[in-house]
Each structure stands twice: as structure tokens, then as C-alpha cells.
Chain A
Amino acid sequence: MTTMRITINGKAYGPTEIRDELSMNDYLREYLGLTGTKFGCGMAQCLSCAVIVDNPDGSSQTMPTCIVPAKNFAGKSIRTIEGHAQNGQPSVLQKAFVEHFSFQCGYCTAGFVNEGQVLLERLAKKPVARADLDKTIQEALNGHICRCTGYVKYHEAMRDVILADAKRYVS
């Protein structure tokens, strides 16, 4: 058993006693009712379960929750899809995904939003050359499976968000 404390979208959760085999995905969805983080495959193949982990050094990365025990997230600070919009206002990236019609059934969208957001934050710290932009987006998003869209509009939205603020994201 582990005593679980975690910060999610700026809010502290716990302490809760949890089994060591409890997956992070089940902790979010069954214990906390935060079902914005999805379950698609349970094998880190689709990444519809991915959340953002914000590290103490200021870096962030996405992490699947289906194949990682909840206890590995103890003490961490994470962001889920529920935490991107502020006061009901969607983030720049969320708005872009909506306005580009990037998703259809929407089940993979939480994962794409988290991954895209991490990419933006990474590029803001270390901009990418324009010539490398497509490849960078592709590498960042390729872990995410979508069955409906063929990915094109997700990538277009990502590119457009980056190029709309090229001073920040492109070197």
C-alpha cells in the first residue's frame, strides 16, 4: 500500500491509501472521477490515457497512465485535460483543435491536447527551425492513435498554432 498525495491541475488530492497495483488510469477515473483522461488500450499504444507531468525543474512531459502504477505519481504535479481551460475559456491549443475540426469522436483528444501543450511549452523554451517543424510535430504526436481523422487536421492545427506565434516557437 502507498499513501497517495498528488497535485492535479493545481489542486491537492489525498492522502489516500492505495494498492501498489492500482494503475494511475484507474486512480484518476475510478477514485477521483476524472474521466477526461481516457482508457483506450491499456498498453500505452494509443496514449488516450496520457497526462502531463510537471517536473520540479520546470520541464514537462506526457506520461501514459494505463501502464504506470498510481504510486509512481505520488508527490507529483500533473495536468489533465480538465485543467487546460481557464474560467471556461479553452486554451489556444484547444481552440485551435476545435476551429480546425481536428477531432471527430473526440476520444483521443485529451491525449493530443496534453501532448500538443507539452510540445508548445518545449518549443517556447527551445524554438525549432522552420525546416524541422513538421518533423518535430510528427515525432511529438506519433505516439497517439486516432481512428477517425487520419491525423491531418491535428497536425495542421498544431502547425498553425506554432506559426501563429512564430516568434515564440520557431527559431
Chain B
Amino acid sequence: MELSRREFVKLMTSSGIALSVSHATFAQTPAFATRETLPGRQSWNPAATGVGRIDGLAKVTGAKLYASDFRAADLPGWPANTSHAMLIRATDATHVFTGIDLSRLSGALKPSRVVTAADLATAGIRVPAFYAQADLFCPVGKTPLYLGHPVALLIFEQFDAFDQARMALRDPSCVNYGQETGAVAIAPFGAYRFVRVAGSTPGAPDVYSPMQAGWVTPRRFLNMDLPVWAPANQKGPADAQASFYGEQIRAGLAANNPDQLVLDREFQTQSIDPMFLEPESGIAWYDPKSKSLELVVGVQSPMEATESVAYLLGNARGSFKPALIHTHCAYMGGGFGGRDHTTMPLYVALAAMFYPNRPVRLANNRYEQFQSGIKRHPFKMRSRMGVDRATGKIRAFAADHRLDGGGLANFSAQVATVGATAAIGMYDIPKVDVSTVVFHSRAVTAGSMRGYGTTQVLTALEVLIDEAAAALRLDPIEFRRRNALPTNGQTMAGNALIGVTRTDEVLAKLANHPIWQDRATERARALQQRAGILVGTGVACVNKDFGTGADACLASVEVSPEGRITIRSDAVEMGTAIGTALANRVAAIIGGVADEVAMAQVDAFAPLGLVTSGDPFSITQAAQDAASRNPRWVAEISSPSSASVGAHFSTHAAFEAARVIFRFGLWPAALDLWGIAKTDPRARQWDTARWQQRKLAIPGLPPLDLASVAAKAHARGGVTAAMVHGFNRWSWTNASFKIAGETYTADIDALAVRTGTGTAKARSGSTTSDRFVPLNRTSINIPPAINERIGVAYASTCGTLVRIEIERATGSVRIANAYSVAECGQPLVPEVVVGQMQGGFAMGVGQALLETMPLYEDGPGNGKWNLGEYVVPRATDMPLNGLEIEVLPPLKPDDPPKGMAEVVMIPVIPAILNAIYDATGHRFQSLPVTQAMLKGVLK
């Protein structure tokens, strides 16, 4: 195989390992990057005419795209044979691990290499801090920290040996245990208390809030489990004040006040598996000659995966430390948060390092995926809500959340805080006290999963809201409307939400919908005419955050002289159509839909020369001010694709790059073609220009096609490519740059440009270069550190109605019809927004009615769970012809897109529970509500 060109883009780590991505083009086997840059210039681009996704053709024809598709033979330059590895995992977390017995693997079944904790210690392997609650392999003599804790890695030269060995190892277990110790106890992963007391009149400053005082944590824990909060003291430090006001709020709720309706309820939710259809896997090869490690993985956090592997090996001895790590991040067969910050890349890397010069594949089967894959946190919530009977206004809310975080911490602390700060949902409540604690257990690790804590708390809340409405004899939608947080209202953290709050519109849509309007007649009709069927209708409405408070985005956009567009982005594709969203957002600015979109490109942006330091969630103002004097410094280089960030955040850098190209490349070229002089007032009216069908038009002049404009831009040496970084901490960092003699200010913090490859004669003084040249920012305005105290800032609203039918005899539920309405600003790919709402609805149905797992020894940590045990929704569980989806149009045509992929999964869950109450009179306080449970209350 001839290598035609290789370009390495290097990023040095503190341990001296170069991280790199190679873009190579070959005659025969396509490079990884070629396969994953879609649709490709030679292929049909459905997105070009809006009839499909950029990855549509590749996916529907079975092209190699996913990490699990790749074998050594598919990767140019790799040795041809794939070896196979498997992890041996503990299924006992209460006894000391004494070793594994592989004696049944004899002859051809013997593994070529066995890797245990001892080997890692000898090699100087380090666990990255994020995962460091446990050893990567439980050492002999210790009790495994959690069910499914790996104890060894076995590597087999050939597939057949591997296949036979894994069958032989099924039963009985080859893992031996000794003394009983009980489960290992470690400190809780996090605990917080959020208290807010609003000022006594509208617009008055809060008496106390997390924004003012900072976030409160307990003074200590009792028995490594129960948080002990500061003693109450109104004049004391912040946490003592929180206790003071919090206890006041609770006392108010406990008081026997006849003017106040108080509901005190406990609600619990289950352990959920994301159940993305492609189990986690990876393949890697360490070449000892070049000391380079190359991996193919499918992760939502490519930057983190790359850095974690670098840290893993950064202090290793001798042949265990590579000089170069290439990470190829593939399209994913689903993610839902479960592929963000997982240990899989670490074990994949270890497999390669301990079996040098031979590519090794490590792949979970579904049993192993259930056993080790990140789970949704089960929540136990006790909530108290006080409502003024006369006005129907909610006066106070107090809740205590307990989350089981499982073995490793993962994002437990963040899930807890997001859950806590979402606890009052879309409502305006002047007195709030929410505590949360997430503790370790021997369960499978819980971490980020679509919803991230809000699914659990908003389900409990919307059920509670419905109960309150019923108790007060208020229409449930009217009760919600009366208590909705208006635009610019203060959240329970004490900040206002950004933008216009559209809960009123969504509630109005719900109220006017026939499913809601006809609910009484439908229920009555069933009672009269349909023996044995109970009909009920339920509603729920949620306002859910998008973004994490430290969201970075990276992208480059290039326009060729023929007007072909290439986009590179650090976002990852897991089904969300982010590639198509990028292409569409860019197309609106520079006229054409990209036919080359490359995702997960964390290392393609070296010209920006970015550096970072500190933790973007906790850096002090002083540290940020000092660091940002370096024009290359950004608060975070690249963020995982999570938290519904795709639409609003991940496309932002590409959008801004496109604006630079338009402003300093295409627009001046168009002016040239139109013969408009620089002094003409129209020359600065780029905002009036519109693209239609790849033609640029301004009033009164003939439209110009993109190819002509692009050719001109290149010929005159204008900006024809831009590379941008952006950072958002509840608002965008804003900076100024000098481009073509002008000061250009935009919501970005780093910029590099490439000018046209046209002749130098075209314009005197123009630069012709095929390289991106970074521009130093001349001023920078980073969102302040105090924003770190914000809980929710950006939010989208979704409301759902369901009409259900329950068969009395069996307790089985059928969703007869449903309506889901959401708002997401500017939908970048409207059909995908609808598709996400349908898919979110289905996932919600699963959580409401079907999915659950025990946490401990009977749960998936025992390695025996598959889809026969964990039942996910099928088409027959959906109202296929009865699900109406509505997406509210943006308020203004140039509104930015808003994140919505999580919110659309949530309201269906409490809507179903509320419908069950409507049908049966029974209000369930846990998830799921199974057929057996329903049958039980219908006797």
C-alpha cells in the first residue's frame, strides 16, 4: 500500500506523549478518516436537498462506521490479524478476591496473555483520577469494589481460541473468593444542599440563594452515608445560613396551617440501562518499532478518552509507554450518555500495550454490556410541597434526594446537582430547600444518562403537581400555568433563565388539544361501552436545561474554489444527526451543504495552538483572568457530546467559522462580482444577503452562485477557511480579532484563517497559503466565574399528553394516543427533531412501564442480564399511528437552535403515571409501573 500523504497534527501531553490523529489517503483500503468523513465527495448527499442525513447512505448500506465494525485488516498499515481479548469480571463484591483459575483453558484454549493487577503495577500503569475510586483490576487480596469489577484481561492470538475459551469460562465462574468482608464502603460521591428564599416582593433581591452564597456541601457524613449539614445560623457562614433558611422552610411545611395544602410524598425510580444497540468495544495496536499506539473506539468524549489513555500510560515503564497515541473515534450505535467517560478505552489500550505488535480487539457482548455499562442513577426522593389554598400558588418546596451511584463515581456528583437544581421544574417557588446525596455502592456504576437526574426528579414533581391540582380541585394545566416561572423569573439557584420561557405556549397547546379536551368523555365512554377497559388521560410539562456550564466547541469550515464545503467538528455522532445539523447551520451562512463532514476531530485544530488549565467548573475569577492573558488559553478545549449540547453548542463553532468565511471571503468576492465598490453603502450590508439554492442574492442584483463566489474568493486571496473555538459558561465567551484591517468581534475565543489559494497577482498584499494562520485575540470577555453557581440557565420546554387504556383483567397498558409538543429555537434538521421526539417518547414509555433491574447480586452485575430480562419498548408498545408531534416554530427567524434531545423523553413518563391515576384512582409513587403492579391494584 502506497502512502500518498500523511499529515500529523500533534498535541503534547504533560507526560511527554504526543497525541495525534492521522489523516492518510491510500490506494486500496480506505483510511479510517475517509470512511468516517461523510457523505464524501463521490457519494449521494441526501442532506444537500434536505431529503436525508449526511450519514444516511453509509448507514443504510452497511458501510463500516462503528468501532465494532473494525478489524485489523480494515486499518491501513496495521498487521492483518486481529487478536481478541476478554475481561474477567467479579460477580461478588462482598468477599476477598483470591485469584482466577484458568486450568480449564488448556491446549488451544490457553490464552496467549493474561493481564492482572500485578502486571499493571509492574508496568507503572496509572488510573486516571476520574476512575480512580477503584483499581482497574481488583488485586488479589482485596474485595472487588463493585459487581462486575474486572479482575483480569485475557488475550487470545486467534479468534477461534477466544470463542471457545469464552464458552468454557461461562460456568462455573473461574473467579475465586475467600473471606467474607461485606461490601467495601467508601465516602459518598457528593452531597449538596440548595436553598433559596425569594425577596418579599417581585423584583426584590433574594434573601438567600446559591447564586449569592455559593453551593453548600455538608460539614461531614455520618457512617459515610448521611450528610450532616452546618448548624443553622442566620449570621454564620454560607452553609450555616442555608441550614437556617432551609429549616425555616421545612418548619413552615410541617406547621399545621389550614390555609396551606401540604403534600409529603416519597417517590423512587429504578436503575436503567441506556441499552444503546451497539455494545462498547475497541480495537488497538501498539507498534513497538515506532512506539505508537493506535486505537479505534466509539465514545462521546473523544478528548477525555484520548487524555485518559495518555495518563494511563504516561508514567509507564519501558515498553509500556508509547511515544505517540493516535485515537480514531468512530460513529456510535447509540450513546444516550452511556458512552461518555467510560473505562472501555482504558482496557482497549491496555490490551494493545500488553500484546505488542498485534492488533487486539476488546468487545462487550450484551451480557457484559449490561454488567459493566453505565447506568441511570436510581433516585429515592422525599418531597414536600406547600400550596396556598386560596390562590393555588406554590409557596414552598423541600426535598431530599438519595442516589445510588454504584461502584465508580463517574458523573454521580453532577447528576445529583443537576437533579437537585431541576427539582422544581418549570415552576416559580419562592422558598426552596433541596438536599441531595449520592453514595457509593457495589452496584454497577451509574453515570451520565439521557436526562441526567432531571428524568427522575421531574417525574416525581409532575406526579406531585397533578396530585396537588386534584386536591385543590384545580384543572391540572391551569395549576401549572398559575405557577409557571415566567421569562426572567428567578430559578431556585437564584439566576434567571436565558431567553424567553415558552411554558405558557406549551401549556396552551396541551390544554387545547383534543386528547385533553375529550378526556372526560373518553373515560366515560369506555366505562359505558368497553367492558373491562379503563381509560385515563394524563399530562405533564417540563422545562429542562441544556448545556453543562462549561461547554467548549471546536470546528473548521473550508470552502474549495469549486464551492465544495468541508466541516470538521469535535462533536460526535451517536444518532443525533449532528453532522447534518452542522452542515445545515453552515449552509445557511455560506450557501451550500457540506459534502465532507468529519466528526470527533479533537486533534485537527492544532493551528489554534490551544492551551488550557484549571477546571472550567471551579476556576476562580483571578485564575481565569490571569490565564486568559495568554491568547492561546481557553477554559476548556473540547467537551463531550452530552447534555443536549449538539444543536446550541456543538454547531456554534462551525456557525461562527462560516460567518468569518462569509464576511471576509465570500462577501467581498460577491461585491467584486457585482461590481460594488468598497465605498458603496451596500458593501457593509452583508446582513441583507440571503442564500437560496446555492445562490447569493441581495435586492436589485442578479444572484451569484456559490461556485463563482468561491472561485472569486480564492482568486482574490480572501478567507476561504476558518477554524474556531468557542466556550460557553451560560453565555458565550466573546473576543475581538483583527481581520483584513478590521476589528471583528464574535462569540468565540480562538480563530485561525486560511486565505484563498488563488494567484498572488489577484490582489497586491494578499497572502496565499495552504495553512491555517492563527489570529491573536485583541480582547476577550469570558463569562465570569460566578456563573459556576448557576444551576439551570438554558432550557427548553416539552409537554406531553397521553391517553391510555388499561385492560382490567391483565393490567396491561396500551397507549391509545399521545401528543408531544416542544420548542427548540431554530430546528437545524426538522425531521430529526421529530424523530428525537418519537424516540424520546419510546424511551420514556420504557422507563414508565417496562424497564428495571435490581441493583445488586440479582442485577446485571451478575453477568446474566440480556434483553430477555430487560424489556425495552418495541413498536407494539408505541401508538404508531396515534403519536402526534408538534415543534413550535422559533420566536424569531434567526433564533439560535436550542438543545432538546433529553427534554423530549421526560414528560411522557409522569403523563403516563397521571393517566394511570385518572383511569384507576391509584397514584403510583415509583417507576416502573408494571403490568403486575397494575393488575394488583385493579382487583
Contact = CB atoms under 8 A, between A and B. Distances in A.
A113 to B, nearest CB: 7
Interface residues of B, number: 72
Interface string A141-170: 110111111111111000000000000000
B688 to A, nearest CB: 33
B575 A106 contact: yes
Interface in A103-124: 103-110, 113
Nearest to A107: B333
B880 A155 contact: yes
* Max chain A C-beta neighbours (<10 A), residue from B333, B336, B868: B333
B576 A104 contact: yes
B880 A45 contact: no
Interface string B49-64: 0011101111111111
Interface residues of A, number: 57
Nearest to B51: A99
Interface in B45-87: 46, 51-53, 55-66, 68-71, 73-74, 82
Nearest to B61: A85
Contacts of B62: 35-37, 80-82, 109-110
A100 B44 CA distance: 16
Per DSSP, chain A at the interface is loop
B122 interface: no
Given A90-B61, A147-B275, A152-B883, A22 B163 contact: yes
Contact of A104 (B279, B575, B868, B872): B575
Nearest to B843: A147
B552 interface: no
Contacts of A35: 62, 64, 66, 68-71
B74 A33 contact: yes
A40 B875 contact: no
Per DSSP, chain B at the interface is loop
Contacts of A80: 62
B61 A94 contact: yes
A138 to B, nearest CB: 6
Contact of B277 (A42, A97, A147): A147
Given A26-B163, A45-B866, A145-B874, A98 B277 contact: no
B62 to A, nearest CB: 2
Interface string A34-68: 01111111110110100000000000000000000
A90 B60 contact: yes
A8 to B, nearest CB: 12
A72 B367 CA distance: 25
Contacts of B275: 147
Nearest to A134: B881
Contact of A103 (B44, B59, B63): B59
Nearest to B332: A105
B887 to A, nearest CB: 14
Contact of B279 (A36, A39, A154): A39
A27 to B, nearest CB: 10
Contacts, number: 190
Contacts of A21: 163-164, 167
Interface stretch (B191-199, B393-401, B785-793, B830-838): B830-838
A94 B331 CA distance: 20
A19 interface: yes
B431 to A, nearest CB: 39
B334 interface: yes
A99 B46 contact: yes
A45 B367 CA distance: 13
B874 A142 contact: yes
A73 to B, nearest CB: 17
A105 B874 contact: no
A132 interface: no
Contacts of A88: 43
A84 interface: yes
A155 B875 contact: yes
A152 B56 contact: no
Given A37-B62, A108-B277, A101 B866 contact: no
A36 B843 CA distance: 25
A33 B29 CA distance: 13
B376 to A, nearest CB: 14
B366 A98 contact: no
A147 B872 contact: yes
Contacts of B52: 98-99, 101
Nearest to A113: B60
Given A40-B366, A90-B57, A94-B60, A153 B277 contact: no
Contacts of B365: 39, 42
Nearest to A96: B60
Contacts of A100: 831
Closest 4 A/B residue pairs (Cβ): A36-B62, A107-B333, A106-B59, A105-B575
5 contacts: A38-B68, A48-B277, A82-B61, A101-B52, A148-B839
Given A107-B277, A108-B277, 20 more contacts: A26-B163, A33-B73, A35-B69, A40-B277, A41-B366, A43-B866, A90-B60, A98-B57, A104-B836, A106-B59, A109-B62, A142-B874, A142-B876, A145-B872, A147-B276, A147-B277, A148-B575, A150-B839, A151-B842, A151-B874
